[in-house]
Amino acid sequence: MDFRKHLILQHENVKEALNKLNTLAMDAILFVVDEKDILIGSLTDGDIRRGFIKGYTFDTPIMDYIQPDPVFIARNAYSIEQLEAFAQKNLKVIPILDEQHRIVDILNLRIKSSLLPLDTVLMAGGRGERLMPLTESCPKPLLKVGEKPIIEHNVDRLVNYGINRIFISIRYLGHQIREYLGNGTTKDIDIHYIEEDQPLGTFGALSMINTFQTENILLMNSDLLTNIDFSDFYKSFLQTGADLMVASIPYQVKVPYAVLEIDNGQVISFDEKPTYSYYSNGGIYLFRKSLLEHLPGKAFFNATDFMELLISLKKRIVHYPIVGYWLDIGKHEDFERAQNDIKHIKL
């Protein structure tokens, strides 16, 4: 989104302001700035209407119409709770300011649901052998589910949460993914690629990235179809004080027989056809960037390896149960199910 369409210089006139507000339609709010884009105030058609009621005219300086203390988001210094408060007050278009109080972007809560400060890595280098022959000439992340590829469903969902910097790890037919998504400009984000010349596992590829800019990092497999609430995932991560949080999938095992509890060879109780509940790894991780110093370098290192290492280091690992939709598209039956599910779920 071109945020500059919401800006108007302090010396411009009311007629020009009305023309700009008219083009903004349902997002009709302007932010009045000086020549350095420093925020001075906000202006809506309601402000102008109230000015006319007071007796102002088209010749009245625009500064007489403005609201002088608009809300804003301080870049790199905001909380998810603050964004939620804006949404509850029905504030939709909010300027993002740098340390000099200059507008550097706009958050439109009608278009994006949040603004998560997370660099994100999508793993997209696998061969997808269980989906052959579909993946013989097409990498699994580019297989279409509904109207667009699996990986694009994930990218679009990340964009919806305000994530604008994504790294994609590629290997098998990776050039096709690079050609399809490009550098992210069509989605107003930055996409960078990590090319693996050998399989490095889920976390091994992260050792090839030294340009992370956020304190915490989101990592996920690109062949998942899910409507996980990334904002709640992030809030839970912060609230629990976790070093790493892994999304988990409830999994139940039903035993068709009575299960005996035995002590020293003696049956002391039994449970008739019990159901046991477990949690499986959902392939989505949120962790502190500082943990990357424990990676062994450019070597194969899977998620289980990383978590076992963190446990040995007494780090705090917490799970986050996904209560919404989640599907790992690994087999043909998963792919077929996804084609049907996408008609009924909202990602």
pLDDT tens, residue by residue, 205-223: 898 999 999 999 999 999 9
The amino acid at 208: M
CATH T-level assignment (fold) for domain 3-108: CBS-domain (3.10.580)
Q: Across the beta sheet with 73-74, what order do the strands follow?
A: 73-74, 93-97, 103-108
CA atoms within 13 A on the CB side of 81: 3
> Mean pLDDT across the stretch 307-330?
94
Q: How far is CA 191 from CA 15, 30, 159, 235, 298, in A?
A: 40, 30, 11, 24, 21
Contact 209/298 with Cβ under 8 angstroms?
A: no
Contact 201/192 with Cβ under 8 angstroms?
A: no
- Whole-model pTM: value is 0.88
pLDDT tens, residue by residue, 162-219: 999 999 999 999 999 999 999 999 999 999 999 988 888 889 889 899 999 999 999 9
The amino acid at 179: E
Check pLDDT > 90 for residue 43.
yes
Contact 93/107 with Cβ under 8 angstroms?
A: yes
- Residue 297 CA to its chain's centroid (Å): 26
Q: Is 79 left (phi over 0), alpha (psi -120 to 50) or beta?
A: beta
Query: Please, which pLDDT band fits residue 159 given cuts at 50, 70 and 90?
Result: very high
Alpha helices in 142-214 (DSSP H): 150-160, 174-181, 201-204
pLDDT at 120: 98
Domain 118-341 has CATH 3.40.640.10: no
The answer to which of 23-27, 228-232, 236-240 has the lowest mean pLDDT is 23-27
Average pLDDT, the chain: 93
Where do the domains of the chain lie?
A: 3-108, 118-341
Query: Please, which pLDDT band fits residue 1 given cuts at 50, 70 and 90?
Result: low
- Residue found under tokens 């976790």: 242
